[in-house]
Chain A
């Protein structure tokens, strides 16, 4: 479980996060949605400690993460996996080396054991026969899957995904969404996903938090969205004609 309590953050006198409190539940995919510039990425990066918050508290289970010192924070991060927008794979390493990296750094496994674990993770995300390829040689969808494999190599308790579907076609996006959902259940992780992809919301949104102007405007499940009377949320979710039609159809039934 991750809980943020009254966190605020500003950059150059611009308030980006304003007194935000959320509970992210364990074993569920928690989605943060909102327009570009609404503060989603800053919130996610604040939770993982890449941004220092101005006030408030971030709890990882019983630990106040933002009050830990540098060393304890570093230790804590070994329990965190993160999938970045572009994958953030190391360009100079092969697919296999990328997945083996956290194992190299933080375990005393033998080379064979590390290789076996890396292959296990790669197999889990359906990457086969690509171990010796470099990130520049694989597609965007494969990069995301390799990044997921790297994120789960150390069996993390917490998984963060920043726009996992950006730049992917709808079919590949669906594959990534399903993977995130399956892995969350399989490893019983607390997963937080930043997205503005409505397909993702409908596919994996166990809990959905809508953010605008650095504050929470709405929260609920993916099924609650259709019944919500929050105009800001409706304007965002049902912005396209297609999604409006789907909503109308659902209401008719």
Chain B
């Protein structure tokens, strides 16, 4: 019953979020700010995660395909497909759920407990829309860029690790990442990435918006935001995979 209650309240909040904005110019400005805060500021963490993900996938694949019947280019192919299909969208989203999710929940939660949201409401501003819509637009718009960046950096990380450890040659890896390439995998990853961003932002905003009490409750909301966003990502990963790849 509690879960149904939360889902109901989440959708009620979304109807307020997607109602007509008071002033488009202000929302546009806020969206640009959020792109900087939530998107641009996440580039470094995505780069670091991706380079190591690519490196680890390459080395693990190399040690699991030591049998001479497996061609060496298989390492590059595996690294590419693993990154495209799963890591650059899902794993990056899970990491961003921690970074962006906690940021959004604590920011909105603090605004709630310090009565800043009440102040917006008193002025006649639709606080849900003003605070949440720019964040949703910013992350849904920017996450595909982060996903593509992660793909490139991950594949590059795999190449560096593979060549540096001597598990394969540069030519094998480059041949592997070009071999049997299916462009639709990129579309699939970008769709997932946009959906996951929507989930992270809206769920975290919901928890922040419904924080009551003090700093302890804001902390709890932040934790709930990360946990619930991560679970939703995993659930929707399964659903989207079935819908888009079957």
Residues of A whose CB lies within 8 Å of any CB of B are 45, 48, 50, 74-78, 80-82, 84-86, 88-91, 101-102, 104-106, 160
Contacts and interface: CB of A to CB of B under 8 A. Distances in A.
Contact of A90 (B26, B116, B122): B116
Contacts of A81: 122
A45 B119 CA distance: 11
A104 B119 contact: no
The majority secondary structure among interface residues of chain A is mixed
Contacts of A85: 115
Which of B115, B118, B121, B124 has its CB near the most chain A CB atoms (within 10 A)?
B124
A88 B23 contact: no
Contacts of A104: 23, 26
Given A104-B23, A105-B26, A50 B121 contact: yes
B124 A88 contact: no
Contacts of B118: 45, 50, 82, 84, 88
Given A82-B122, A84-B115, A86-B114, 14 more contacts: A48-B122, A50-B121, A77-B121, A80-B123, A80-B124, A88-B114, A88-B115, A91-B110, A101-B123, A104-B23, A105-B23, A105-B26, A105-B125, A106-B123
B124 A91 contact: no
Interface of B: 22-23, 26, 110-111, 114-116, 118-119, 121-126
Contacts of B22: 105-106
Given A85-B115, A86-B115, A80 B26 contact: no
Contacts of B23: 104-105
Contacts, number: 55
Which of A78, A91, A105 has its CB near the most chain B CB atoms (within 10 A)?
A105
A104 B123 CA distance: 12
B119 A74 contact: no
B123 A105 contact: yes
Contacts of B116: 88-91
Nearest to B20: A71
Contacts of A76: 124
A139 B35 CA distance: 32
A106 B22 CA distance: 8
A197 to B, nearest CB: 19
